[in-house]
Amino acid sequence: HQHNIKVFFWYEYGFMGDTKPITKDNLLLAKNPDWLGIANNGKPSSYHEKDFYFNAYDPKVQNYIIKLIEEGIKLYPNVDGIQGDDRMPAMPKNSGYDEITVAKYKSEHRGNLPPQDFNDENWVGWRINILNQFGKRLYNSAHKVKKDIIVSFAPNPYPWSKENLMQDWPTWLANGTCDLLAVQCYRYNADAYKNTVKEALSYVKANNASQLFAPGIILMEGNQIKMTADLLKKQININRDLGISSEIYFYNEALNDREIQRVFKELYPTKAVFPIKPKHKK
């Protein structure tokens, strides 16, 4: 803050527990063995056997996440914002077959079990609605603790986000439960980047024309810089050509790269002004 830099708490993992099967000695699972997400095959729910999730449909798990975020804001009242990533709110599409979610579904569907096909349209919509409601609760809870907190989400491009992790972010915009949207438009080709941003922008304009939208640009993966100076300049200029004045970068270690610094000095010649003005003062 002394350098006029906004600080956000980044809840990267969200409902995800681990990149491998969550073991019984996991602190949360050991204390709450029924919190695990379950797939239609009866095994722990995961995205392609890589990202394994806790049960985002379970009110107890949802409440834990919300209380965790509320606690963070209370402990650090000067924090400017919080961010849910591509895993919050989110859940693998093969999920929802745990006892708690099945019981809820049966209570709302005359005792019928959920379809075994996790791609069933109505079943998908029912689960997405639970996640959308959680997003609204999260937004309202954060703003209740601090009125001018900025709630940011960084989902994957739509409709991929919906088809894979059930992130229906156009609905979040329509419901007014997102202050800053940073879709992960991670592409290593100028044309692909432009097409991805244009598609995301079309959903933004259709659902909330006043939505603050800052596309995510990827600079590095792991410990390796992937972005070239030429491509970076092209992607920033694509944003400007589309009327977009902000971008978000993944991730900060790449800012030490001299070529990236050179581009930034050229294309960001003046001091940046954060695009959101606080609506309330405490």
Instruction: Identify the sign of the CA torsion 152, 156, 160, 162.
Output: negative
- 78 and 5 Cβ atoms separated by less than 8 Å: no
Q: What is the pLDDT of residue 275?
A: 86
- Structural domains in the chain, sorted by start: 8-267 (3.20.20.80)
- Comparing CA positions, the residue from 52, 66, 45, 48 lying closest to residue 13 is 52
The token pair that represents 91 in the structure block: 């859940």
- 216 and 248 Cβ atoms separated by less than 8 Å: yes
- The percentage of the chain sitting over the pLDDT mark of 90, rounded to a whole number, equals 94
Q: What is the pTM of this model?
A: 0.94
Query: How far apart (Å, rounded) are the C-alpha atoms in residues 171 and 77?
Result: 29
Give residue 87's identity as a one-letter amino acid code: R
Phi-psi sector, 263: left (phi>0), alpha (psi -120 to 50), beta: alpha
Instruction: Identify the sign of the CA torsion 247, 181, 209, 276.
Output: negative
Q: How is residue 39 annotated by DSSP?
A: B
Q: How is residue 253 annotated by DSSP?
A: G
Residue with tokens 């202050």, as numbered in its chain:
179
Give residue 72's identity as a one-letter amino acid code: G
234-282 pLDDT, tens digit per residue, is: 999 999 999 999 999 999 999 999 999 999 999 999 988 888 765 544 3
Residue ranges in the chain whose pLDDT is less than 50:
280-282
Q: What is the pLDDT of residue 276?
A: 78
